[in-house]
Amino acid sequence: MNPSQSWIQPGRVRCRRGLSAAQLFAISALLAVSAMAANIESSKSMVKPPVAVAGGLDNHPYVTKITPSVTNGTATVEWFGIVGPFELEAKAGLDDEIWSSVGTSTSRSATLPMNEASGFLRVKAPDANFVGAQECALCHVTAHAKWSETAHARAFDTLKAIGMHENSRCLQCHTVGYGQANGFQSEAEDMALAGVQCENCHGPGGNHVANPFDRSTVPVATIAAEVCGGCHTDAHHPTYDEWQHSLHSRVDVHVSEGFIETGWSRMQSCGGCHSGAVRKSMLDQIADPDLPFASKEDSAYFGVTCATCHNAHDNTLHSQLRNPSFSTEFFSYVTSQNLSAQYDPNIQMCGQCHNQRGALWTGSGRPPHHSPQYNILVGKIAKPGTADAAWNSTMSFHGAQPLQCVQCHTHGHEVEDPDDESPNYTGHTFEAVLHGCTATGCHSSESVARVLWTGAQTESKAAIQNVKGLLDNWAMTKASEALREKYGTLAWEFTSAGQLSNPAGDPSIVGPTSGEQSGIPNEIKKARFLLYMVEHDGSYGIHNGDYSRFLLAEAEKLILAAP
């Protein structure tokens, strides 16, 4: 086992690079800890995220956190590692040549006396023991059968087809453990390790196969995007790079803080869509209610990662999506209920979260969530069979496209001679691109599509402001004297005034209290609901222009009829 070539010091990170592939596969992790208690204290919240490496999950242990206790005179070291047992070693100074063992562990943490953690620590592990997917298939029959039909299983054949099956740069992402002692070496010797297999994403399984009842040898299952990111990267296929710049890659700060501070209640209400860790837990518990729930820390850290939307074990019609890319049924995920009670696997992938989240016109606390895109796209904002179902209308031309959201928001395209300055595009920033408008022949050119786009949004924004103006006028002319004098043009608003009245989100700007909401006629409540459904869709007429205009026209009729 070789010493690490990277280290962390409180307040900064340094990593030596420029190593050969063999050296990179040999590194383990090193944590530098100041001998001074005050400096150790400053590193309490220092967490190192997973590392994206070519070939899948990094098989070498690396320290993720150190939690010192000055009062107890100890320091708890935690690390991420797959193959144990792990050995901790220490030395007083970085230039010292001799490392001293401070113990071994089959777990992924150890608490040390402060004197043993006063210099430098490293954690080491034995060489990976790869066995190949055929060994996993002996127990994991269903997962292996589904994986066998995926492009990952044929990844080595893809190289052979283009004559790159001896290219070392390609082999590290198209085989298991290339460059490691027990990994793929050549086609003649190691076809059992060819392709992207179980051990690329879950780590080496040899120890688990040898003793399947030893929990410490169970391979890792993580939704970290870094597992995919080491291969799905660079100018030719920058999926991971694009995702890192998207809002999906992180949990909103106020939501993640809520997970840490409040725990389960906030995780259930917001986590099903804001956290990949929470959503995976909810879906797992549909199959097995006894499975443990995600930790607060994981829930706060993991956004919508690759595994949230894609299932590497399955072969579906479109990029291994967990849900279809097309659906037309009404769907509204009520966050006050557990996901298992309302999960519909037939609702398209984006609509699983981008829906109105249980919003009804009878709600008065705040406007509908900023997520009704699916409902607007398919023209359904009310549950069929209810009195409000008259608001449902026909689906848009965009909604009728076989790929729906995917057509414009993840429409990838290639460029000639891609490089870092001009890479290919995989669609994983999730921004709508005009290239998707012309790819199916829907629009003759991107310039024509842009003109139509601009015109539709201009018209929609004007209609939104017109309805808001009518509501403001109702507030100043027809609202009760008490509401009018206290709230002025906010007399029609929700208690937490929406962004049309409070674009800066100033918490001091509020509408009528919950008790005062009873003084607002139902016509106004319905109108404001329809207005915010269109406004919070955010596309301003692009997703479903006819439906958006219909809803705003209905809102106008309601306002004019209100007492």
Convert the pLDDT of each residue in 485-525 to its tens digit. Answer: 999 999 999 999 999 999 999 999 999 999 999 999 999 99
Q: Is the pLDDT of residue 547 over 70?
A: yes
Tell me the average pLDDT across 105-118: 81
Instruction: Taking the CA atoms of 93, 98, 101 and 107 in sequence, report the sign of the dihedral they define.
Output: positive
User: Between these two residues, 28 and 99, which has the higher pLDDT value?
Assistant: 99
User: Between these two residues, 563 and 265, which has the higher pLDDT value?
Assistant: 563
At residue 225, the pLDDT reads 95
User: Between these two residues, 339 and 174, which has the higher pLDDT value?
Assistant: 174
As a whole number of angstroms, the distance between CA 45 and CA 66 comes to: 8
User: Between these two residues, 28 and 228, which has the higher pLDDT value?
Assistant: 228
pLDDT digits (tens, 9 = 90+) for 178-235: 989 899 999 999 999 999 999 999 999 999 999 999 888 888 888 999 999 999 999 9
Q: Are 534 and 379 in contact (CB under 8 A)?
A: no
Q: What is the pTM of this model?
A: 0.86
pLDDT digits (tens, 9 = 90+) for 59-74: 888 877 778 888 888 8
pLDDT digits (tens, 9 = 90+) for 458-481: 999 999 999 999 999 999 999 999
Q: Which has the minimum average pLDDT: 90-104, 293-307, 347-361, 533-547?
A: 90-104
Give Cβ neighbours of residue 487 (< 8 Å, ≥ 6 apart). 475, 479, 493, 511, 512
Q: Are 409 and 432 in contact (CB under 8 A)?
A: yes
At residue 44, the pLDDT reads 27
Q: Is the pLDDT of residue 4 over 50?
A: no
Q: Are 320 and 314 in contact (CB under 8 A)?
A: yes
Tell me the average pLDDT across 153-170: 95
Q: Are 43 and 68 in contact (CB under 8 A)?
A: yes
| Per-residue confidence band for 16, with pLDDT thresholds at 50, 70 and 90 | very low
Tell me the average pLDDT across 395-415: 89
At residue 118, the pLDDT reads 65
Mean pLDDT of the chain: 87
| Per-residue confidence band for 41, with pLDDT thresholds at 50, 70 and 90 | very low
Q: Is the pLDDT of residue 299 over 80?
A: yes
Phi-psi region of 319 (alpha: psi -120 to 50; beta: other; left: phi over 0): left
Which domains does the chain show, CATH number per domain?
6-124 (2.60.40), 133-221 (no CATH), 444-561 (no CATH)
Q: Are 10 and 120 in contact (CB under 8 A)?
A: no
The SS3 call for residue 409 is helix
As a whole number of angstroms, the distance between CA 127 and CA 114 comes to: 30
pLDDT-above-90 percentage for the chain = 64
At residue 10, the pLDDT reads 26
| Per-residue confidence band for 6, with pLDDT thresholds at 50, 70 and 90 | very low
At residue 49, the pLDDT reads 58
Pair type for strands 6-9 and 29-32 = parallel
pLDDT-above-70 percentage for the chain = 90
As a whole number of angstroms, the distance between CA 464 and CA 475 comes to: 17
Q: Is the pLDDT of residue 2 over 80?
A: no
At residue 509, the pLDDT reads 96
Q: Are 56 and 220 in contact (CB under 8 A)?
A: no
Q: Are 319 and 426 in contact (CB under 8 A)?
A: no
At residue 175, the pLDDT reads 97
Q: Is the pLDDT of residue 396 over 60?
A: yes
Q: Which residue has the tokens 């994981």?
A: 298
Give Cβ neighbours of residue 448 (< 8 Å, ≥ 6 apart). none
